[in-house]
Each structure stands twice: as C-alpha cells, then as structure tokens.
Structure 1
Amino acid sequence: MKEVSRSVVVIMVPLPAQGHLNQLVELAYLVASYGIPVHYVGSASHNHQAKLRSHIPPSSSPSDICFHNFPTPPFLSPAPNPNSTCKFPSHLQPAFDAASLLRGPIASLIRSLSLESRRVVVVHDSLMGSVVQDAASVPNAENYVFHSVSAFALYWYKWEATGIVLPREEEVDIVELLSSNGFPSLQDSFTDEFLKFIALQHEFKKLSSGIIYNTCRVVEGHYVDLFTSATANSITTKHWAIGPFNPVKVPEKKSRRSAHGCMEWLDKQALNSVIYVSFGTTTALSNKQIHEIATGLECSGQKFIWVLREADKADVFSGGGEARKIELPQGFEEMVETRDLGLLVRDWAPQLEILGHPATGGFLSHCGWNSCMESISMGVPILAWPMHSDQPRNAVLISKVLKIGLIVKDCMSQNKVVKSSEIQGAVKALMASEQGDEMRKRAAELGVAVRGSMDEGGVSRAELDSFITHISR
C-alpha cells in the first residue's frame, strides 16, 4: 500500500483479555501496513500474551508497531471455577480493574506523541473508555471506539436496553427468541461488578470521533447499518466495518507457520471429515460436562480435534496454585488413539490453520466473536454452544440469520449439563446429514465472499482505506 503521511500516529488500547488483545494486534498490523506508526499499550504480561498468540508471524510484523509495557498494580489472578453458576469469566475482573489505572501513562504517551505528530489517533476497546479520556484535552488527538463483538449483538443489546422500533417484520422471530424463557438477558449475561464496569466505560462514548467494528458487511452489513441508525443521535458520525482482522489466507502446507502435530494428522484425513472442538479462553467446563462431551464425540463416530485446556487466568504467565487436572472417562484417550478417532490438544492450538484445512468440516464452538469470524472466513459451519456474554446472540446470528450452523439443544440454560446423546445428535446433524451439507455449502460460499472483501477493491478493504484516509486527512 502507498505510505501515508508519517505525521499521523495511532495508539491501540485493548482490554486485557485474549479475545480483545488479539483483535487490536491484528488491526495494528493492518494499520501499520499503510506506513503509519502504531503504539500498542498494556502491561508487559498482556503484551507478551498478545504477541505470543498472534496470527502474524514475528518475521512479517511491521517495524512500525511499538509495544509499550506499562506497569499495572499487582492483582489477584485466580483460576477459573469450572463449577461456577455464572459462566461469565469473573476471574478476569481483577485484570480489568488494574488496567483501568493505565490512564496516567497513556495520557503521558498521548501528550508526548502530540508534540511531534500532526495527529494522534487513539483506537480503544469500548471497555477502556475511562482510560483514554484525557485524549479529549489534547487538541490534535482523536478517540475511536473499537467494538470487539458482532454488530448483531450490539444492535440487540441496544434494542433490549432502549426498546427501539424494529425496522422489519422478519425480525419478530428474533425478538421472540431473545425474549423467551431461558435466553439470557443483558442483566443475566454479566456479573453486577462487570455491569458497573461497562456503565463506567460507556460514560465516555461522547468523546469518540467514530466507531470501528471487527466485522464485514458481507456478513452483517444490515446490522451495522441498524446499529449506526440506533446511535444516530450521538456525536459519533463515522462507522467502519473493517473485519475480519484475522488473516483470510492460511499458509500453504509447505510454508505453514505452525509446526503443530495436529496439522500432520489433519493432512491424512478425508475432506470435511473432522469436527474441531474448542470453547475459547474464558470458560472452564466441569468434569461432568467434559465426560458428556467425550462420550458424545465417541458415539457420534466422527473424527475430531478437541482442544482440552484450562481457561485463561487473568495473567496467563503467573504461577501459584495447583493446576486443575481435567478428567476424561477412563480409557477414553487410549480408545481415541487406537481407533484413530481424533486428537486431544492440551496446549495452544493453531485454530485458524485448523479451520482453514480442507479436512475440517465443522466447528463445535462457544461462539466467541473471534472464533465466529475465523470460522466464517474459512467457510466452516458452526455447531454453536454459547456460554456467556455476547455468545448466545452470536449463536442466533449463525443459526437463524446466516443459517450456517446449528445450536446444541438446550445449551441456552447456562447451568444445565448437556447430555452426551444431545451432543452426539448435534455432531451427526452437522457432519453427517443433508442439512449439514447444505450449511457447509452456505458457509463455504460466505467464506469466499468474506475473503474477497479483503482483496483490493473489496468492501472491507474499501472501509479500511476509508478509515486510513480519514485519520490521515
């Protein structure tokens, strides 16, 4: 890309949780590819986490990205509780509270860069508004809110909070679903402590000059427009749907970034024969639920890769405390190996590469927005098992709107153990039925469109160009 004026600098301010850290690292890479210097700020631990788990190989990362390791106050980093009645990761709250004290160092960085730059552009997670509030007092600084969740979830959160009028009749079915018993409301989705945290951050939305979404208009342009209309009375006037931020082309076999053993195993499997199973970084499943999943996968007869690792602590590098031993049914691992039924991955998995492999035909997922966008980008249908936060709404988008997935029966009830028979039936429905084949076809077509949106002249590339042009004006 043609380099723009280097008198513009960008500061990225993420929320310290994996699903938020990585999105702004990916956006930093995209912005830096235009020749714009980017400053990524956070604690040393969270910056290291972001770089370690990034899709971008260190050898290809632009030199224009500078990571600032700001000290944060010590905080507890408790292990996630697999038996908690509230699946929202409240164990991460201490890290969020500690990060809110980055206001001073970030204000100093903004002022320092403002003295040597024509414009300082602060892109901050929507949940870090209080941290960047001092940018409003710097004449040549601008704030831009970054939303890490789907436009679909944002719009329906807005509808629930304000009762805005529905624009079209066909969305009545969605309203009925979101209003039904068992579907978590906005209040039920989060702890009281986190709701207060959200309210505090949203007080500073009026300081924003625009909104950036990690989504693609090919996927949910209708809901980007709806949310834009729903916020039309605010000061914000600029909206950009720039996603997906993740790479849309995975490395070829000979030049893979990952040397993970699961890739060699996938190379030996038939087309669309493997279901990838992963529930993200924030939720710990009970041993009882893990037993049911194991039995369901075995009885389905479908090949699988199952990422069976503990959820992240607030500081993923901190020691202390005895690590939980995740229990599987007796003899399960031996059976899987003997029958070559699948792989159990207990470390960090190369998710994007797995989803991009031709042998992968489905994704049993918690429906975190990163995982949804990666699966959509690779054209893989989703078996949705939402746990908390925006995930239930993302599951509705996947299954009811895009029609590229199924919802695991009764999983909307957060405290209910889903039985192995239900898991078995859902896996077979996605992987071994005409209905599943139709979803796979729709997902593949959507994946082609999303990947094309990032090409020169594509809709997402045009939105990114528009954002770069705006901040470089």
Structure 2
Amino acid sequence: MNRSNDVSNDEVTVVMVPLPAQGHLNQLLQLCCLFSSHGLPVHYVGSAIHNQQARLRANGLDPNKIAKIHFHDLPTPDFDSPSPNPNASFKFPTHLQPIWDASQLLRRPTALLLRELAAKSRRIVVIHDYLMSYVVQDVATIPNAESYNFNCVSVLSMVCYMYHGLGKKFVADGELRELMSPPEGCTTDEIVRLGIAQMEPLSVRSGDIHNSNRLIEGPFIDLLEENETAQKWKQWFIGPILPANPNLNSKTPNNANSCLDWLDEQPQNSVLYISFGTTTSMSEIEVRELALGLEQSKQRFLWVLRDSDIGDIFSRACRKIELPEGFEERVKGVGLVVRDWAPQPEILAHPSTGGFMSHCGWNSCMESINFGVPIAAWPMHSDQPFNSFLVAEVLKIGLMVREWEEREEVVGSSAIENVVRRLMASEEGDEIRKRAQQLGENVRKSAQQGGASQMELDSFIAHITR
C-alpha cells in the first residue's frame, strides 16, 4: 500500500504552477490527476484565463478526477494578445511572449496563496514549470514548503544543451552516436533571456521531475545523471503521465466527437492524423502544398487545421485557414478536416489511427509513443528538432517530413505525398508501425504496478510524504 493513501487532506498539499502555454498547461493538469488519484489534495495555480483554458481542453482526462482539483484563479496581469504571423519563415511563436512576460507578475499572489496553504498543511509541495521558477521563488521563505521543477521537454533536448561543445557521445542500437548540437533558429533572444532569469530562483528546488522514462530516453537519462550540475538534485522519470486509456466520454466540442465517430468507420491503422499543435501558424502556400500532397497520396487522413493559439484564446476567434477550392469535396469519404479543438489522446488511441504527422512537441511525442502510433516528423521550433531526431533516428518509430536545415523552404506536395505513402502504405511503414506499437506496449506496461515508471512515481510520492 502506498504511503500516500494514508495522507490526510491537510497533511501534504501539492501545488502546480504551469507556464501559460497549452502544452505546459496540459502536462501539469495530467500530473494533477495523477497525484490526486494517489489521495493527495492538489491545487492548480494560474490566471483565470489559463485555468479556464486548461479545463476546457482537458482531453482524455476523467472529469471526476478534474473535479477534485482546486483551481486558483489569480488576478490576470494585463498583457497584449497579438495574432501570429503565418508568413514568417521563423516559426517560433513570438506573439506569445507578452503573456509569458506577464506571467512573471504572478509572484506576489502566488506567494500569498502558498503561505495560506502552508498554514493548513504539514508540508506543501510546489511543482512548477521551469519558466515559472521566478514566480515560485518565495518557497524558500516558507519553512514547510519545498519545490520541484517539472520538465515539459525531452531529456535529449536538455542534455544536448548541457553538453554543447563537449563532443559528448551516446550509444543507441549498439552504435556510438554524436549528440546533436543545438540547432539554429529554434528560439528567440527574448525567451532565452526569460530562461536565464529563472536560473537563480530555480536553485532553491529540491529536485526535478521528467515526463519521460528509460524505455524512451535511456541513453540520455544516463548522460543527464552523469552531469555534475544535475547530480545536485534528485531526478525522477515518471512519464508517461497521461492516462493509458483516455476517457472517451470527456466533454469536447461536437465536431470533435464527430471526428471520433468518423474514425469508427475507418479500417484499422488506416488513418493519418495531422496536427501541428497549438503554437504553429502555417502560411496559405504551406497549407495548399500539404492539402495537395494528402490528396495525391490517396491515403485516409484526419487533419486538424487550426492557427496558433493567441495569449487569450477567449478574446477572439483564430483566423480561418483557407484550403484549395473544392478540396474538402474531392476528399470526402477519404479525409476529414477539423477546424476546432480536437481530442488528440482519444484520436491517437483509436484503432483506426495508423500514423501521426506532427510538429513533435514533447506532449504530442509522448502521447504518440504511449499509444504506439508512428510519427511523420515536421519540427517547427523550440525542442522539436531534438524530438524529431529522437523519433526518427534513435527510436526509429518515424520518418522526417523535412530536415531542420531546410526549414525556410516550403515542403512541396510531392514530398508530402511521398512521406505519407512511405508511412501509411509501404513495407517500410509497416515495420516502423510495428516498432512503434511494441514500444507503446512496453511504455504503457512501465506505468502499471511494478513497472519502472510507476516505481519512479511511487518513489517521488514516498519522498514528498515522508
């Protein structure tokens, strides 16, 4: 029996502080449900806008578990919410910088809340996004509080930055490989400065939690644990943190439910799911080439066609992206275009889904790996080039749509047709799918009782409830 099951409601309290960006809001909400299921009271802290966003988009999570989470709507700082530029060759979502800067103003109300919770608890455990380290730094002044950094990115991306210039090598499939150098064009000076501003406040933490495990990133976890800086803090690798069986009855928009109905009518492993996450904005020419490539491939597809989120998703509608004239009529019965929020975990878990064309954000990678779906990797920014390398070159559960060095070139329809056919209708694709399915099965087992991931989670819960 886990010690956490004996914890009374006011003994050890867990507080989550996410960065206001969908991939981060979502992972920390998943983590909330995970800790809540172990009998711990959990509090989710953010602006009212982003708490609402997290709840609205809680795909695959059990509403009964979400109902147990205490959401704290802090006063929302003023911030600009500009539109993305779909024609920018540089894909990093610079239009979200104002909300990330404004989020740093949540330090004072967060500190007040932490002190209030600390007065009612034997211990409060604050789990925060790296870029919210500044906001939670007052943990150091609360005697019965401790903080842990939750890494929403791959371990590979972390060690590549740590070992940049050292020529560090790793072993994969018996081969000695060079670590990737951090690619150019992934981030901006502004986000780098924000990251640097977190380093001193981050030093007060008690450890690091990672949404990964050794089955997925074993060689890189080994490298991380060798690093002298990382050795100063305890590391836990508890991924995957999402449910093994997503809740298909979770509240989603009508058209999201209809896309699952559409999947019900398709043969097993026949549908390519296409989504580039919540921070990618594609130009009209990029969309046109993708549409033509999908049409020419003659493969079944489910395409979530949305613009990047803005800082306040409730303030106005996103731009409607135009498709080639007559496209949806021509592909009717073969392809389906969804223009609103879609239930990604449920789509990836569906037996009809046989591939995922993705930007390779870490949340999407972990979901795809967990459900055994191979990836057509199309990185756009941030840690995505690292993740696509992991998927295609190390794990060999995917194909590259476009190499990072060619990121400023438009991917033509013929290239898209080729990679879609390779993944969905070839012996090569079948082999990749088998590897993805086997890895997914092993990863899901690791999160079950006695599995490596579950044991790491049990270790962390035992630590915080000591």
The TM-score range, normalised by the shorter chain, is over 0.9
Cα deviation code 1:182-237 (max 9, x no counterpart): x823xx3111111101111122232111000011222113312311222x345733
Question: SS at 2:429's partner residue?
Answer: helix
Aligned runs of 1:396-415 on 2, under 5 Å? Answer: 396-410=389-403, 412-415=405-408
Q: In structure 2, do the counterparts of structure 1 residues 323 and 38 end up closer, same or farther at CA, with 3 Å as the change threshold?
A: closer
Cα deviation code 1:349-377 (max 9, x no counterpart): 11111111111110000000011010111
Q: Is the 8 A contact 1:411 1:418 kept in 2?
A: no
Which among 165, 169, 176 is matched to residue 166 of structure 1? 169
Cα deviation code 1:396-427 (max 9, x no counterpart): 00011100001114454222110001000000
Q: In structure 2, do the counterparts of structure 1 residues 174 and 275 end up closer, same or farther at CA, with 3 Å as the change threshold?
A: farther
What TM-score, normalized to structure 2?
Answer: 0.94
Q: Is the 8 A contact 2:49 2:76 kept in 1?
A: no
More displaced, 1-10 or 100-109? Answer: 1-10
Q: Is the 8 A contact 1:72 1:101 kept in 2?
A: no
Q: Is the 8 A contact 1:87 1:414 kept in 2?
A: no
Which among 324, 327, 336 is matched to residue 332 of structure 1? 327
**Which 5+ residue runs of structure 1 have no aligned equivalent?**
none
Q: Does 1:109 align with 2:113?
A: yes
Give the superposition deviation at 1:55.
Answer: 2.8
Instruction: Count the aligned residue pairs.
Output: 458
Q: Is the 8 A contact 2:130 2:198 kept in 1?
A: yes
Give the superposition deviation at 1:138.
Answer: 1.2
Q: Distance in 1 between matches of 2:191 and 2:229?
A: 26
Q: Look up the match of 2:49.
A: 45
Aligned runs of 1:293-442 on 2, under 5 Å? Answer: 293-319=290-316, 323-337=318-332, 340-410=333-403, 412-442=405-435
Q: Look up the match of 2:15.
A: 11
More displaced, 410-419 or 70-79? Answer: 410-419
Which among 92, 97, 112 is matched to residue 93 of structure 1? 97
Question: SS at 1:423's partner residue?
Answer: helix
Q: In structure 2, do the counterparts of structure 1 residues 62 and 173 end up closer, same or farther at CA, with 3 Å as the change threshold?
A: closer
Q: Look up the match of 2:189.
A: 192
Q: Distance in 1 between matches of 2:225 and 2:177?
A: 22
Q: Distance in 1 between matches of 2:31 and 2:196?
A: 25
Q: Look up the match of 2:155.
A: 151
More displaced, 448-457 or 256-265? Answer: 256-265
- Structure 1 residue ranges, 4+ long, deviating more than 6 angstroms after superposition: none
Question: SS at 2:376's partner residue?
Answer: strand
Cα deviation code 1:110-166 (max 9, x no counterpart): 212222211111101011111111111111111101100011111112122x62643
Q: In structure 2, do the counterparts of structure 1 residues 236 and 10 end up closer, same or farther at CA, with 3 Å as the change threshold?
A: farther
Q: Is the 8 A contact 2:397 2:432 kept in 1?
A: yes
Give the superposition deviation at 1:462.
Answer: 0.9
Question: SS at 1:288's partner residue?
Answer: helix
More displaced, 293-302 or 49-58? Answer: 49-58
Q: Is the 8 A contact 1:127 1:202 kept in 2?
A: no
Q: Look up the match of 1:244.
A: 240
Q: Distance in 2 between matches of 1:442 and 1:234?
A: 31
Which among 211, 215, 222 is matched to residue 214 of structure 1? 211
Q: Look up the match of 1:82.
A: 86
Q: Does 1:459 align with 2:463?
A: no
Q: Is the 8 A contact 2:271 2:302 kept in 1?
A: yes
Amino-acid identity (%):
52
Question: SS at 1:130's partner residue?
Answer: coil
Q: Over aligned residues, Cα RMSD in angstroms?
A: 1.9
Give the superposition deviation at 1:65.
Answer: 1.6
Q: Distance in 1 between matches of 2:340 and 2:66?
A: 28
**Which 5+ residue runs of structure 2 have no aligned equivalent?**
none
